Each structure stands twice: as structure tokens, then as C-alpha cells.
Amino acid sequence: MSQPDVERFYEIARNSEELQAMLGAAEDRDSFVETAVRLGQENGCNFTLDEA
């Protein structure tokens, strides 16, 4: 949706060891961003690859 959702997901991930592990498993930048968008959507934060 927008930058506020990116920031909200950052806060959610910052407080979740599980999300941190999933993001940390990304092999490269593109994979990290794709994972962040997917996990963001799963956690109610809607943003696009471009916004991430």
C-alpha cells in the first residue's frame, strides 16, 4: 500500500525472531525484498517490491 506499511512491517519484524530468521535466510537482495513483501502481506502490511 505505502511507506507506512513498510515501516509497520519493519517494526513487526524487528520484534519477531521468526521473521528475522526468514528474512536472514534470503540469499541475495532480490530474494530478501521478495520475502519481505510476502511476509509483510502475511502480517497485514501491503506494499510492493518497489516500495520495499
Which distant-in-sequence residues (6+ apart) come within 8 Å of 28 by Cβ? Answer: none
**Predicted pLDDT of residue 23:** 98
Please tell me the pTM assigned to this model.
0.88
User: In the structure grid, which three cell numbers stand for residue 4, read together?
Assistant: 507506512
Give residue 20's pLDDT: 98
**All cell numbers assigned to 11:** 517494526
Domain coordinates in residue numbering, the chain:
3-42
Task: Profile the chain (52 residues) by mean pLDDT over runs of 10 residues.
Answer: 88 98 97 97 94 84
Q: What local confidence, expressed as pLDDT, does residue 51 receive?
A: 87
